[in-house]
Structure 1
Amino acid sequence: MRADETLPPIAPGGYPVIGHTLPFLRDRLGFLQQLRAHGPLVRVAVGPKSVTVVNSPDLIHQMLTAQAGYFSKGMLFEKLKLFGSNALPVAEGSRHLTRRRLMQPAFHRERVSHYARTMRDTATAAISTWKEGDELDLKTETQLMAQSIVMSTAFSAHPEPHTARAILTSVDTLFTAALRRALLPVPLLDKLPTRYNRRLARAGDILHQAVTGIITDHRTRPGDYDDVVSMLLDARDETGAPLPDEEILSEVTGLLAAGSETAAVVMAWLFHELGRHADLEARLHTEVDTVLAEEELTADHLPRLTFTRALVQETLRLYSPGWLVTRQAIDTVQLGGYTLPTGTDLLWSPYTLHRDAALYPEPWRFDPDRWLPDRPQPPKHAYIPFGAGKRQCLGDAFAWTEMTIITALIASRWQLRPAPGIRPRPVGAITVHPSVLRMRAEARQNSAIRETV
């Protein structure tokens, strides 16, 4: 097709139609994976709208970098404004650039290294509550752990267990609603006083109250804190005025939501895979015991935990949390020889990209050794678990550090065994969740790490 031509309309019997097919309703991830066979760009339908699916890693990179100015974040991120209409993850244009520059120092690599001790102590406190033989809902456990880490490092907050669970439930409720509204948009239903919408409003209220309490405490005792909340309270806009309360609330809420989700599901999947691969688990235990050598884990240990990091890297590939990322053309743009008119909705999937057999040998196999330097590496732009370009995840260094620390700490003390009869499958929620993941905790003998709390 020539560059001056637009994508063809959906023809009967042509491209699959999302939202009107049982395969998509049953298996969102599998349906998107099948679309990769249709070429670099595929037009499908989501409810009443048509969407262009971008499969090519080169075109995805082009869209996220050189041509990023032609696209807004699109339909999913518009619905994520449930967490705050002006927060960094959903901000556009100059507001996004200004807010990113404001938040960047809190996630600089040196500052993240400073967080390592708090991450360690927070995770250690969580896993110290486990008992021999406990059957754990591992996704919930890792979500609570990740939520506690972001709250302790970024907000200096330590909610009681019942409050933490209420916050997590609220975050899950709002994420579910955002995805549902993006995939099956029925704006009228969003405004009706249905039971679902009342539950959604309650979830928003719980989250709002929790975050407001954190901000109020920082304002009451400003000299006691040096964290993201205090940074936002001290910030000034281009006129020298402090940020409006609503914007501070949005930023803190958005960060709390993001910090409760991505790293948590990756950790759940990682230990699921270790439960299936005793040889990899043994290698992890050997590395952790050798590197820590009965010392408390610190940031200085992290560069030597090379196999631990490879396990995280491979889990991010096979179970990439982002299965659905959206964009919308805000001007007519050329992409891969096609003309995309203004208003074109696009989506791409890190999950299906990272499982493409044309890019990764044996893509379904969990193989952390594929990241060894002497092994063939995937093509450039084919591994982007945190995105690329000006909207690459601001917290990627934070997440890498957090996931490495959690993996090492759990491995130093526990072996997690699959509960009988449990066979988790990936589910396309706001991230790639395990359908169910229960694992039995077995204490390791001669644990190589001392108590830290």
Structure 2
Amino acid sequence: MTTSLNVPPIAPGKLPLIGHAMPLLKDRLAFIQRLRTHGPIVRITVGPKTVTVVNSAELIQKMLTSQADEFTKGLLFEKLKLFGEDALPVAEGKPHLRRRRMMQPAFHRKQIAGYVNTMRDTVEPYITGWHEGTPLDLKTEMQLMTQGVVMSALFSSTPERKPALTILHSVDTVFTTALQRALMPISALERLPIRRNRKAQAAGSALRTAVTDIITEHRARPGAYDDIVSLLLTAQDDTGATLSDDEILSEVTGLLAAGSETTAVVLAWLFHELGRNPDLERQLHEEVDSVLAEGPLTAERIPRLAFTRRLVSETLRLYSPAWLVTRQAISAVKLGEFSLPAGSDVIWSAYALHRDPDLYPDPLRFDPDRWLPERPQPPKGAFIPFGSGKRMCMGDAFAWTEATIITALVASRWRLRPTPGTAVRPVGAITTHPSSLHMVPEARQHANTGNAR
């Protein structure tokens, strides 16, 4: 006697041979959002491959928390092993637990508070280097700025603009390659000596080379630095073992990549929205001017930037960088009312979740006041910009602090004006980034704290 399994339905629109490839290629963000209208879990096909899409906030939360041990990180993270086999972002099982425990002290909230001055001092030269009236490629500028912040915290140094751009392009190449390989998982193509593969290998090598000498310097002068690499050099697991240079290299490379790209695109979107909403821009300027009138931005003053924090929250909601996150079922698993076979590839989208009208009133409206404590808040699991459960991004507090500081410091000196005649749309690449975002800096006339007028 056999029992029929309740498998998720196939989403409408499947075509012979190619499945749902056409809408996925045409506008993947719109497609992934439309899938939410077809139920809590649906299946799509891309050529011969079937992928399960989890739409329900409740089921996503279960997959990330109470049922987390039934899933690995899945295809996208497997392809990101260009950073290293057991680097924290891609590690599984016991290696993941060991690395997380060893790295946790570097991202403790008290440690983050100690990074505030470093973040502020790193950011200010970037924004003072802008020229009034000269258009900025805002995504690139924010990437360079956040990369500089991460590098300052990681190993007490920031590169000049040209080598910084080399690192930035290498990060973009590695991430883009991982996404391409996840969307078209044909292992044989990854081994061919074609230009795309050679470029990915070169980018991975460039990233590793960029930090190798710095780790060697830290080894040679262990007492000369107070940064994340210093903490990793002394971190021990339960047996007293420390990380090897190669392990530290993998972690630093992964942190450098993940810590710069995601925060940068959030900040680009934030200033895009401010450029379209002068009332919100005015509120931000009033708050920032009030706080910075008392002195430089410090860890003690950051909690007073409540409106700034709500701007960051709303940007993380409306433009969540995580439009695609993967998992894979280790064995047969029951998720809600549905059964998934062992090896099932699963995806979910924070971008689509955060725009669900059943969870957020008027979801496409940029409204930072929806995060006021007196307003109704979304249900548990409906706002997860950094994931949830034991695999939640360990750098969430770092990212919140970094984004708040950069927003405040830019707003203290500049207004960023949109360039006329350009349409900006979200693009689902490795993150949800703007298609093209050029903005013109306009110096503020009444900025406080000694900033340029």
Q: TM tier, shorter chain?
A: over 0.9
The equivalent residue for 2:260 is 260
Alignment of 1:412-431 (within 5 A): 412-431=412-431
Is the 8 Å Cα contact of residues 18 and 24 (structure 1) preserved in structure 2? no
Cα distance change of structure 1 residues 19 and 212 upon mapping to structure 2, 3 Å threshold: farther
The equivalent residue for 2:137 is 137
Is the 8 Å Cα contact of residues 17 and 45 (structure 1) preserved in structure 2? no
Cα distance change of structure 1 residues 187 and 353 upon mapping to structure 2, 3 Å threshold: same
What is the CA distance between 1:22 and its match in structure 2?
2.2
Is the 8 Å Cα contact of residues 13 and 20 (structure 2) preserved in structure 1? no
The equivalent residue for 2:39 is 39
Q: In 2, distance between residues paired with 1:161 and 1:349?
A: 34
Provide Cα deviations, 1:97-149, integer angstroms capped at 9, x if missing partner: 11111111111111101101111111111101001112000000000000000
Question: TM-score, structure 1 length as denominator?
Answer: 0.96
One-letter code aligned to 1:25: L
Alignment of 1:198-237 (within 5 A): 198-237=198-237
The equivalent residue for 1:167 is 167
Q: In 2, distance between residues paired with 1:163 and 1:226?
A: 23
Alignment of 1:34-183 (within 5 A): 34-183=34-183
- Counting aligned pairs with the same residue, the percent is 66
The equivalent residue for 1:353 is 353
> When the two structures are aligned, how many residues end up with a matched partner?
450
The equivalent residue for 1:30 is 30
The equivalent residue for 1:278 is 278
One-letter code aligned to 1:338: F
Cα distance change of structure 1 residues 157 and 374 upon mapping to structure 2, 3 Å threshold: same
Provide Cα deviations, 1:42-90, integer angstroms capped at 9, x if missing partner: 0111343211100000000011001111010000000111112110011
Cα distance change of structure 1 residues 419 and 9 upon mapping to structure 2, 3 Å threshold: closer
Q: In 2, distance between residues paired with 1:241 and 1:108?
A: 21
The equivalent residue for 2:441 is 441
What is the CA distance between 1:189 and its match in structure 2?
1.6
What is the CA distance between 1:402 and its match in structure 2?
0.5
Alignment of 1:314-333 (within 5 A): 314-333=314-333
Q: In 2, distance between residues paired with 1:345 and 1:16?
A: 21
Q: In 1, distance between residues paired with 2:210 and 2:101?
A: 26
What is the CA distance between 1:208 and its match in structure 2?
1.3
Is the 8 Å Cα contact of residues 15 and 42 (structure 1) preserved in structure 2? no
Provide Cα deviations, 1:184-206, integer angstroms capped at 9, x if missing partner: 12212211111222222221221
What is the CA distance between 1:236 and its match in structure 2?
3.7
One-letter code aligned to 1:207: L
Alignment of 1:324-403 (within 5 A): 324-403=324-403
Provide Cα deviations, 1:290-325, integer angstroms capped at 9, x if missing partner: 121151111111111111000000000000010001
Cα distance change of structure 1 residues 179 and 137 upon mapping to structure 2, 3 Å threshold: same
Is the 8 Å Cα contact of residues 296 and 450 (structure 1) preserved in structure 2? no
Question: TM-score, structure 2 length as denominator?
Answer: 0.96
One-letter code aligned to 1:274: L
| Residue segments in structure 2 that go unaligned for 5+ positions in a row | none
The equivalent residue for 1:197 is 197
Q: In 1, distance between residues paired with 2:71 and 2:153?
A: 33
Q: In 2, distance between residues paired with 1:64 and 1:423?
A: 36
Compute the RMSD of aligned alpha carbons: 1.9
Q: In 2, distance between residues paired with 1:76 and 1:439?
A: 32
Pick which of 45-54 and 5-14 moved more: 5-14
Q: In 2, distance between residues paired with 1:14 and 1:162?
A: 46
Larger RCO (alpha carbons 8 Å, 6+ apart)? 1
What is the CA distance between 1:449 and its match in structure 2?
2.3
The equivalent residue for 1:287 is 287
Secondary structure (helix, strand or coil) at the match of 1:339 reads strand
Q: In 1, distance between residues paired with 2:424 and 2:226?
A: 41
What is the CA distance between 1:16 and its match in structure 2?
11
Q: In 1, distance between residues paired with 2:58 and 2:70?
A: 16
Q: In 2, distance between residues paired with 1:230 and 1:19?
A: 50
Is the 8 Å Cα contact of residues 4 and 339 (structure 1) preserved in structure 2? no
Cα distance change of structure 1 residues 241 and 434 upon mapping to structure 2, 3 Å threshold: same
The equivalent residue for 1:299 is 299
One-letter code aligned to 1:299: A
What is the CA distance between 1:245 and its match in structure 2?
2.7
What is the CA distance between 1:246 and its match in structure 2?
2.1
Secondary structure (helix, strand or coil) at the match of 2:89 reads helix
Cα distance change of structure 1 residues 11 and 351 upon mapping to structure 2, 3 Å threshold: closer
